[in-house]
Amino acid sequence: MKVRQVIMGVACAGLVATAIYASKAQAADDIYVPLFTYRTGPYANSGIPIANGMHDYLTMLNERDGGIGGVKLNVEECETGYDTKKGVECWESVKSKNPTVVNPFSTGITLQLIPKASVDKIPILSMAYGLSAAAVGKDFPWVFNPPATYWDGLSMIIKYIGEKEGGLAKLKGKTIGYIFLDAGYGREPIPLLEQLAKDYGFNVKLYPVAGKEMQDQSSQWLSVRRDRPNWMVMWGWGAMNPTAVKRASENGYPMDHFIGVWWSGSDDDARGGGKAAKGYLALNFSGLGSNYPAIQDIKKYVVDKGKSQVEKDKFADTFYNRGVYNTVLVAEAIRNAQKLTGKKVVVGEDVRRGLETLHITEARWKELGFPGFAGPLTGISCADHSGHQGAYMQQWDGDKWVKVSNLIEPMKDKVEPLLQDAAKEYVDKATGWPKRTEACDKAM
């Protein structure tokens, strides 16, 4: 009985303590950058390298430059496990600490947070994921999805296919298979895919993969064998990717006709397939390898000093660099915000303005220590929160990814009307959606 009472007592005390803790105000002499990460759960294989990349770049800025503009960054991870419930919980727990920006790194969590962003005055940076329609800055002043939306990504892939076939006109009569994670994420590109199919006269075959079945996929690939699509496009995530690559090679699908979106192109995704996965293609918009001064700085200041969780052989792999890319945007937005407001310690409202004026030219990438790391990011404006920047195609050579194309520009003319429609529809359905009141800053 004693033990039980003690246990109950401890539990109650714990509750009270949390209450007190959570209500304690946060000291505000540093810039608070929460990172929503997932190093656990079924999607951890994609989440871990990204978390490491984000964490290490910001830590490097702290170690090398003493933060941004002389103010230390307070980097804190909140583990979501790719679970919406925990994501929302993370949002509630960081929101009282003056966060600068939130990177949910999950389409599901992003969708939940979008309506909260404008109310709580915290900008959301959903880098090339989340709600495509959020690129419309007029309706979504607090949400940013640079450098490109899923629809941009799909149009780039179709363009690439067209190029390989000898012109978009040659797509007529061809069949393109689309294998996707059966969730909002995988379903979003379908309207554009169907429209492009109509415009260019190709056929579309859909192969949904339920989250629960992502480690099996044998029926889907068997159907692929039956339908013999000329090209396969994949919108996969987590454990779905390596399995799909394996099944494709087992079923003898020509790997160089199999293209993944940028979230299906990590080293782990292809490594499982090994040599047999050679030829597999994926979009990418961040640099490959560690051959950049800033990445070397991360190694010098963070990894070699044991301040990172990254395993040595996974340093600077594709998704690690993707994480770095994400935080470069965050850092630039904070810098912009400091310039715009003249404040040193910036908060969400300032960083929203910083994100809206985000402008990273080739020269600026070089200045940051990333020459040629990524294409210029110059398209963001108050009206366009995505920028519709291009991405390049990378190919797995059996051991590592290699860049095989120049930047492919999205078909902006096809994507833009869809975006506008989707945004309008979203706003119409969400009665009482706030009108944009935020002023627009001049780009810097």
Partner 1 sequence: MDILYSIFIDPFVQMAQAPDLFVQTLWDGLVGGMLYALIALGFVLIFKASGVFNFAQGIMVVFAALTLVGLHDAGVPAFLALLITIAVMFALAFTVERVVLRPLVNQPDIILFMATFGITYFLIGFGEYVFGGDPKVMPVEDFGLEKGAYNIKMLGGLVSLQKLDIVAVIVASAMVAGLGVFFSKTRIGRALRAVADSHSAALSVGISLEQIWVIVWFAAGLVALVTGIFWGARSDVSFALEVIALKALPVLILGGFTSIPGAIAGGLIIGVGEKLAEFYWGPLVGGGTDAWFAYVIALVFLLFRPQGLFGEKIIERI
Partner 2 sequence: MFYREAGQFKTSYASDQAIFPILQDRIGIAVILVAAFSLPLYANDFILNAVMIPFLIFALASIGLNLLTGYTGQLSLGTGAFMGVGAYACYKLTSIWPDVNIIVWVICSGFFAAGVGAIFGLPSLRIKGFYLAIATLAAQFFLEWCFIRIAWLYNYNISGAIEVPQRTVLGVIVTGPRATSETRYIVVLAIVVAMTWIASNLMHGRIGRTWMAVRDMDIAAELMGIRLLPTKLMAFAVSSFYCGVAGALMVFLWYGGAEPAVFNINQSFTILFMIIIGGLGSLLGAYLGAALIYILPIVLRFVPEWLGIPIHAATVEHITFMIVGVLIVFFLIVEPAGLARLWSIGKQKLRVWPFPY
Site for partner 1 in 280-309 (CB under 8 A): none
Q: At its nearest, how many Å lie between partner 1 and the CB of residue 44? A: 3
Binding part of the chain for partner 1, among 91-99, 151-159, 235-243, 343-351 by CB under 8 A, reads 235-243
Selected from 309, 361, 383, 399, the binder of partner 2 by CB under 8 A is: 309
Query: 3-class SS at 300?
Result: helix
d(CA 399, CA 275): 7
Q: What distances in angstroms separate CA 206 from CA 13, 247, 254, 280, one per listed residue?
A: 54, 16, 18, 19
Decide whether 76 or 163 has the Cβ nearer to partner 2. Answer: 76
Q: What is the CA radius of gyration of the chain?
A: 22
Residue 239 contact among partner 2, partner 1, none, beta carbon within 5 to 8 Å by kind: partner 1
CA 420 to chain CA centroid, nearest Å: 21
Among 431, 435, 437, 439, binds partner 2 (CB under 8 A): 431
Closest by alpha carbon to 206, among 215, 197, 434? 197
Residue 421 CB, shortest distance to partner 1, in Å, is 23
Nearest to 83 by CA among 34, 134, 39, 19: 39
Binding to partner 2 (CB under 8 A): which residues in 80-109?
81, 84-85, 88-89, 92-93, 95-96, 107-108
- Residues 359 and 387: their CA atoms lie apart, in Å, by 10
Paired strand residues for 209: 181
x-or-dash pattern for partner 2, window 106-135, by CB under 8 A?
-xx--xx-xxx-xx-----------xxx--
210, 187 in Cβ contact below 8 A?
no
Residue ranges in 161-220 that form contacts with partner 1 under rule CB under 8 A: 182, 206-210, 212-216, 218-220
Cα separation, 391 vs 376, in Å, equals: 10
Q: List interacting residues with partner 2 (CB under 8 A).
A: 1, 3-4, 8, 11, 14-15, 17-19, 21-23, 37, 39-40, 51, 76-79, 81, 84-85, 88-89, 92-93, 95-96, 107-108, 111-112, 114-116, 118-119, 131-133, 182-184, 187-188, 191, 210-212, 309, 422, 425-426, 429-434
